[in-house]
Structure 1
Amino acid sequence: MDIAGTGLKATIEEYENFRLGQELDGNTYLEADASWFRYLLSGVVKGQKTIDPVINNALSNEWPLSRIDSTMRAILRAGVFELIKKKDVVAKVVIVEYVEVAKAFFDGDEPKVINGILDRVARPIRGYELDN
């Protein structure tokens, strides 16, 4: 959505119809729960004005969210949305899952950066889970 400038509905339709469980440009996308995908994407978009400041507070002043790669921003936004909204999923599990998502897109240190930022975000929200 950041790169193409498409809206929520168009993005959801594209992924459901042409990506999830499909082959595109030689890559086969795994099947996914479409209702979860819609919930997650809709929640991130609707909550972005709340989510982005939470992420920015975990970043250094020299690297605000606007300077971060768009794929990393999307991963962070989804991870923070889950940390805030999905209390039924253990915080450590949320963080590990989004680190794995980052590994699908990046070969360098980006997954470690995602891990560190999500950990910093999770501590004030759900630190009681991380200290055990």
Structure 2
Amino acid sequence: MAKALERSAARLAAVQALYQMEVSGKGIAETLAEFETFWIGGEIEGDTYNTAETTFFRDILNGVLADQGPLDRQIDKTLVQTWPLARVDSVLRAILRAGAYELKKRKDVPARVVIKEYADVAGAFFEREEVGMINAVLDALAHQFRAGEFEAKACHSKEA
């Protein structure tokens, strides 16, 4: 259970770091140093931030940056055509990118876990409509990136 909480904290920190990098223009090295020194497991303005699995945090951040172009194109295809990723709020964009990265590259984490975790992250910042959008887009991406996970479940439930 402790590992799950540390991974949840890593996801939240990764989304915050991606957002910060986008709005401030800070680079990866500076952002990693700042988050690992001050944010993760620290206290800022009276708020205590949970300890996060640092290697997982770094993997998400580095992975999103390394694969951002293809991830953005895949997210764009999944969003409604009249609402491209560039028009989505920057925090929502960070959530979608981190979730898409995990779905595409972190096969060790079940797709349903990824979707739920990032919907929970969205819930920390937004209302129900935005959380529903995150859930729907990540679910569609999960079916694209990991169709096998869903086909296996469908076949298994038909046998029951």
Q: TM-score range by the shorter chain?
A: over 0.9
For normalisation by structure 2, the TM-score amounts to 0.78
1:38-49 maps to which residues of 2 (within 5 A)? 38-49=58-69
CA contact (8 A) 1:92 1:130 kept: no
1:22-33 alignment runs, 5 A limit: 22-33=42-53
The separation in 2 between residues aligned to 1:18 and 1:4, in whole angstroms, is 17
Aligned mate of 1:107, from 106, 115, 127? 127
Paired amino acid for 1:8: I
Greater RCO between the two (CA within 8 Å, min separation 6)? 2
Give runs of ≥4 in structure 1 deviating > 6 Å: none
Q: Which residue of 2 aligns with 1:58?
A: 78
**SS of residue matched to 2:34:** helix
Aligned length: 132
Which residue identity is paired with 2:134? I
Deviations 1:29-73 (A, max 9, x none): 111011111111011001101110010010112110001111111
Greater fraction of residues in helix: 2
Cα distance in 2 for residues equivalent to 1:22 and 1:42: 22
Instruction: Give the C-alpha shift of residue 130 in structure 1.
Output: 2.7
Deviation at 1:108, TM superposition (A): 3.6
SS in 1 for 2:23: coil
Distance 1:53 1:78 in 2: 14
Match of 2:91 among 71, 94, 114: 71
Select the residue among 33, 54, 71 that pairs with 1:13. Answer: 33
Aligned-CA RMSD value: 1.2
**What secondary structure is seen at the aligned counterpart in 2 of 1:2?**
helix
AA of the residue aligned to 1:99: A
Over the matched positions of the two proteins, sequence identity in percent amounts to: 45
- Alignment match, 1:81: 101
CA distance in 1, matches of 2:126, 2:42: 21
Normalised TM-score (structure 1)? 0.94
